[in-house]
Each structure stands twice: as C-alpha cells, then as structure tokens.
Amino acid sequence: MKNNKRLKVVFCGGGTGGHYYPALALLKYLDTNYQNLDIIYFATKGRIEEHNLAKDFPKAKMYTLDTKGLERPIYNPKNITRMFAVLKDTQKVRKIIKTFNPDFAFLTGGYVTVPVGLALTKEKIPFYLHEQNSIMGISNKFLTKYAKKVFVSFEETLINEKCILSGNPVRTPDEKLTREYLKKFGINNLNKRCILVFGGSLSSEEIDDIMYRVYLQDKSTNYIHITKNPDKFSKFENVHTFDYINDLYKIMAVCDGVVCRAGATTIAEILFYDLQAALIPWKGAAENHQFKNALSLQKLGKAEVFDDQNIDLTKLINFINSIKIKSQNYEYVPKHNQAIEIIINNIEEIKKFNNF
C-alpha cells in the first residue's frame, strides 16, 4: 500500500557554515529519498543560513530568530536582554511547531538552537543533536539533557549513553566531476596545481594577508581564492578571486589541495575528498577547537598546521608546492556518505515512517 503520510521535520543550526552545511547535507538526503516531505528551518537572523537557504533548499519554509549568543563574561549586563530574546523566540517557535506538528527535529548547533530546543521540549517533540567539533559547543551541552540522541564527530565527544559516533555529514556532488569543472573559475591549464583558498563562511583578512605574500613568490600554482577583498589580488594572473562560491565542495572534489581554517565541517570535507591541507586555525574559536581539529588532521598525515600570527612563509610555500597534482583526466565519482547513513539509521521516527 502506498504511504501517503507526509514526513515533517524541523531543522535548525547556523550562524556559521560549520553548523549550517551538515544540516543542509541531511536536508538534501531526505529530499532525495522521501517524496512526501515537509521542512521548516529556523535560521539566525542575518547569518549564512538566512542568506542561503532559499537557493540551497527552496522547498523549506524558513523562520528567522533574533536570539544572540551570550557575552563573556557571563554576568555582562547585555545578557539580560539576550535571555529575554531567548524566551521570546521560544514562544514564537512553540506557536509555529504546534501548527506544523513535526515528526522530529534535527539541530546542528549554534545559539539559535537553544530556543528551538526548549520549544520542542515543551511541545514534547523528539529532537536530535549533531555536534561537529571534538569539544561540544555550549548550546549542544545545554540541550543534550533534552535530546533523544546526540550524534558526534569525534570519539572524545562520546560523553554519555545518548551519544552516537556518526562523523560529520558533508555536502557531495550528485554527479561525476572532472578537472574541466575548474574552468568555470578561470583555471584553464589543468596540468598545473590548483589550490583552493578560503577563510570559512565568515571570511578571513588574516588568510588574505598571508596569501598575498605567498602570491608574490609563487607564480607556478593556480589559486581559487574566496575573499571579501578581490581587488587586493587583481595583479596576480594565477589567482582567481570570488567573494562567494555556493558549491565550494564541488571544487574540493577535483582540486589538489586547500589553504583554510580548521572548522570541523572543513576537516570532514578535506578527509572526504582526500585533500592535502595547509590549515591556519582561527584562534577565536570556542575552546580553541580549531587548533585541536587541525592537529587531529596533521596526525593523519593530511595537513600541516600554521600560526596566522607567526607564519613561516617559506614552509607554507614549500608545503603547497609539495602537494601532488591530480591527473588532467581525474574524475570524481559520487561515493557513499557514511555519516548520513548512520544518522538516518538511528532516527527512530524515520524507521516508523518507513514502516507506516
């Protein structure tokens, strides 16, 4: 008998690409595999998920929330106003989910998930968390006691019996890709090394400054550089600048290496696409998690770690020039995304829906 029931899911996670992209990867999987699917997404006002969701996943109904993270130290007077915003957003979310009546929710971190998690708890809607980093973020720590299960990306984050080691879902191309794809971004000599440079969803002036010095010396490598200041690099013929590329993961599938920060989602993509990476961890990351992420990749022999405040430029250039160049005939073939499979197999409401 045909299943005419609709699968209704709430998604929330954002503020940065590290929280948004794992949610998007799971969204796209559900969309591919379930015809009768309804999605609502709670987004952080003014951040990456609000700007991108309409084009990344137009089927989702989006609601924005005003919640902001708490200031440090915790007794900062601004936090009184911010706590009231959390309560206000919690009530807003409750009204929406009462009408929507979801089967479950999937939250991927960021302060925006706090009012959503509280509202889901009040309405007795089961929800699942995903933690990308080796050290659990404040929002996920707070919501763990209310969550049904918590999916984690590192063994050291298996803090209680609710936690399941899934890894980090990454976005993947649905189609085969060859080096020809790089021509879309100005790379015409496919026999030369091609390095992707980016500073994460919030960009990075420090990486821009470091790479400017690299470009003065390295003319033999082609670079695709994501920057908010493209004019800075206009004199370099081998540097192709863009202020934003939505399908960055497709470039990662066929380029040779990356120079980037060390957010957990980036680390997962580097591993998935088997790239060599020059990692420049962002020191402002909570609990210094980017540095710890970078060291974990370095131990696997996939990266070198550099300090943006004390950069060894010669070492960086030598590392870039040591990265193996893929064959001009290289082809990326879509492959199994294990993290998504583990998550799907452990969401009880999906099992019930499949058996309906």
Residue positions forming the annotated binding site: 16-18, 133, 171, 201, 245, 290
Write out the binding residues for UDP-N-acetyl-alpha-D-glucosamine: 16-18, 133, 171, 201, 245, 290
Cβ proximity of 78 and 71 under 8 Å: yes
Backbone angles phi, psi at 297, to 5 degrees: -75, -35
How far apart, in whole angstroms, are the C-alpha atoms of residue 125 and residue 140? 17
SS3 state at 195: strand
What are the residues facing 128 on neighbouring strands?
106, 149
Segments of 113-179 assigned E as strands: 127-131, 149-152, 163-165, 177-178
Cβ proximity of 113 and 107 under 8 Å: yes
SS3 state at 260: strand
Task: Give the residue carrying structure tokens 């008998």.
Answer: 1
How far apart, in whole angstroms, are the C-alpha atoms of residue 99 and residue 115? 17
* Bridging pattern class, strands 303-305 and 331-332: unpaired
How many angstroms separate the Cα of 32 from the Cα of each of 25, 35, 165, 315, 321? 11, 8, 24, 44, 40
Task: Give the residue carrying structure tokens 């100005």.
Answer: 186
Element (H, E) at 278: strand 276-279
How far apart, in whole angstroms, are the C-alpha atoms of residue 217 and residue 265? 30
Cβ proximity of 82 and 104 under 8 Å: no
How far apart, in whole angstroms, are the C-alpha atoms of residue 171 and residue 258? 17
Burial 82-107 (b: 16+ CB within 10 A, else e): beeebeebbebbbebbeebebbbbbb
Q: In this structure, which amino acid lies at residue 165?
A: L
Angle, vertex CA 229, rays to CA 228 and CA 231, nearest 5: 145
